[in-house]
Homo-oligomer: A and B are copies of this chain.
């Protein structure tokens, strides 16, 4: 009977201790984004289908909404849940153009929906965390470096271990393929994009099948296989002849980006030039990024993005070039939890737990609790003053509190409190709330 009383498959939820970790991560993101002057936006979950269908037909994976008809009301069947934060952002910029300051730098952490078959790390409802900058008419290249630096800072602060941000330039890659005489760019880029998944040998075979000679395919892949620290990009550039404009443009922009990222790479977060990165074909027009967790590359990119020449073109007559990065927050959380890359065992959000000798202490205990809370200390008062102290201590520990506090009674000890350090199993007598605040 009650079998269906669960969260639907693909629409995940966490127990509180895991969600607390996700909230810590979201706090880091927001704090880094705002430290760079990026402003928050949130858009509705629902958009007109026409808005979402920016590349022709609306995808089969999009969820439309419907409802039982209220009399005389419209059917609302022209609306659907958003499948990313990028299209709604482009619509938002066009719609609110006159209220925004350009370059418009925004952050947005919200849910998106895709009617996919749920599988490991792939959900029907998930969070994305996006930053984008949109220029009015033009957008300087230094923003490409800025969004990479920001994501680097975010992932570093989460502190889950090593990761690698790969950077490439679509024009450089296209220019190199052109130099190899390749005409079917779209197909070739798709083959190269899969190389990290299928391996070098299969990639070379696929390139042969698509018409390239074996030694040319090998030469191409030898060139593209090298991941160079971004600070040493000149070494790679010296290997290729810049004999077409695509290569020239790509190299010049990559050099500008690299020069601004100089010294940013560190032990945890490497920033590398990876000439194999292609990303989706019909979207990005300049620099592109992909990020993997070191040792867990099998999960694919946790964060990717790039520059697009005119994303809002469908919604506005203005030229609105942009650059942005999207962190797959739910995907990242899934890997961190599955691979135990973070501790998820922190119970509760309580710093101190006030135990009661009896229920009539509650009003007084509440006043102590209010003083502690005013000082920023998260405080719980025992839910049952008639329970034995041992039971109350159990509950204090379950709530994650490091300290317990008892308001003493009796002639000798009246006016004092006993502060217990629950981790160290030690206790001390304190005479005022101010003293407690000092110790915590």
Contact = CB atoms under 8 A, between A and B. Distances in A.
Contacts of A260: 362-363, 366
Interface residues of A, number: 95
Contacts of A96: 15
A373 interface: yes
Interface stretch (A36-44, A243-251, A335-343, A418-426): A36-44
Nearest to A395: B101
Nearest to A40: B19
Contact of A64 (B34, B39, B67): B67
Given A13-B43, A60-B70, A373-B36, A95 B7 contact: yes
Interface stretch (A46-54, A194-202, A210-218): A46-54
B115 A37 contact: no
A206 to B, nearest CB: 26
A61 B124 CA distance: 23
Interface stretch (A168-176, A270-278, A345-353): A345-353
A438 interface: no
A259 interface: yes
Contact of A79 (B8, B47, B101, B383): B8
A237 to B, nearest CB: 19
A153 to B, nearest CB: 8
Interface string A344-370: 000111100100000000110010000
Contacts of A395: 101
A400 to B, nearest CB: 9
Given A50-B5, A68-B62, A12 B44 contact: yes
A373 B48 contact: no
Contacts of A13: 41-44, 92
Contacts of A373: 35-36
Contacts of A95: 5-7
A66 interface: yes
B39 A349 contact: yes
Contacts of A347: 101
Contact of A39 (B20, B81, B384): B20
Contacts of A315: 2, 5
Contacts of A100: 15-16
A69 interface: yes
B40 A23 contact: yes
Contacts of A2: 315
Given A7-B43, A16-B106, 18 more contacts: A4-B50, A5-B95, A5-B314, A5-B315, A8-B46, A8-B47, A8-B79, A11-B45, A34-B349, A35-B379, A39-B349, A45-B111, A45-B113, A62-B68, A66-B66, A101-B399, A260-B362, A262-B363
